[in-house]
Amino acid sequence: METIYRTIGKRIRQERRRLKLTQEELAERADISANFLGHIERGTKRPTLNTLTKIADVLQVSMGTLFVSETTYKLPTDDLFVKRFMSLVRDKKREEKELILKVAEMVLKKPRRK
């Protein structure tokens, strides 16, 4: 069973990589040591809420984002359209993904009868 600290560490690593930051860069900006950040990412040390707040600020995410593990959804991998679409949105920022979803919902929405 995965501990909450491993979940937090994985999320921090994912967000750090999304921003293309090294551990050293994130640690410096969050005013912690790179060694401590490495432990946090592995889930072997327990950061304070103050430290998590600093890290979340640097990563430009909410604190809640750090506590949520990513859910993996089974998509039809043989569907070429799904593969193409996923490759287009995979590296987009969360705000961009939400905008794409809203546009798709508007396009796919059934027209109302007058």
Q: What's 62's domain CATH number?
A: 1.10.260.40
Tens digits of residue pLDDT in 47-58:
999 999 999 999
Q: Which amino acid is at 52?
A: L
- Examine the domain organization and report whether 56 and 91 are in the same domain: no
- Examine the domain organization and report whether 11 and 55 are in the same domain: yes
* Residue-range definition of the domain harbouring residue 110: 73-114
SS3 of 3, please? coil
- Examine the domain organization and report whether 19 and 35 are in the same domain: yes
Buried b (16+ CB within 10 A) or exposed e, 11-30: bbbbbbeeeebebeebbeeb
CB-CB neighbours of 94 under 10 Å: 13
Split into its structural domains, the chain has a count of 2
- Examine the domain organization and report whether 15 and 58 are in the same domain: yes
pLDDT of 93 > 90? The answer is no
Decide: 48 and 8 in contact? Cβ < 8 Å. Answer: no
pTM over 0.75: no
- Examine the domain organization and report whether 79 and 113 are in the same domain: yes
And the tokens for 24? 């050293």
